[in-house]
Amino acid sequence: MSFGIGKDISGQVVVGELGKMPHLLIAGQTGSGKSVMINTLLCSLLYRNSPSDMKLILVDPKQVEMAPYADIPHLLTPVINEPEKTISALKWAGNEMERRYKLLAGEKIRNIKEYNKRLQSRAKKIAIADENGNVQEHEDGSMPYIVIVVDEMSDLHDDG
């Protein structure tokens, strides 16, 4: 899952790959472009991935940065603004990660891309439950990538 980062000092486009860096921290002083980077990342991912290929959990304690994404079909849960709901969503994500590890191990596969190829050849359906227990079935049998974006982690830490 590639995404645009920006341009380097020579003007060449820089692209990141979530498969090679699944954990990403964006840090900088006020006004340095952190929110611009987050929006660039999200727009790149949304442009390249359908809702059946990628799901998002967006956390926005200030309730301003993620507001434009409130109605997109990629969301697993509405944009999260409260620390308690953030903790719940992250616990769900941890449980989902463990479930996926077991599925991958059962198929003797190491990543989502290979898993999806195998399942598509079988035309198998899978279901994913969100943090409220609502189940969404995926027609193509694929396991969507789940991307979690937390804006202003320090605000959650200070409040929670």
Report whether 121 belongs to an annotated binding site: no
Q: Is 85 annotated as a binding residue?
A: no
Query: What does R_g of the chain's alpha carbons equal in angstroms?
Result: 17
Residue 34, annotated ligand binder?
Answer: yes
Beta bridge partners of 58: 149
Query: What is the rounded distance in angstroms from the CA atom of residue 88 to the CA atom of residue 90?
Result: 6
Contacts of 52 (CB under 8 A, 6+ apart): 138, 139, 140, 142, 144
For the chain, the distance separating the N- and C-terminal CA atoms, rounded to the nearest angstrom, is 32
Q: Does 33 carry a binding-site annotation?
A: yes
100 to each of 17, 54, 80, how far by Cα in Å?
20, 15, 23
| Residue 54 exposure: Cα atoms within 13 Å on the Cβ side | 19
Q: Is 154 marked within a binding site?
A: no
Q: How far is CA 96 from CA 22, 51, 56, 100, 117, in A?
A: 16, 18, 13, 6, 20
Annotated binding residue 32? yes
Task: Indicate the annotated binding residues for ATP.
Answer: 28-35
Task: Indicate the annotated binding residues.
Answer: 28-35
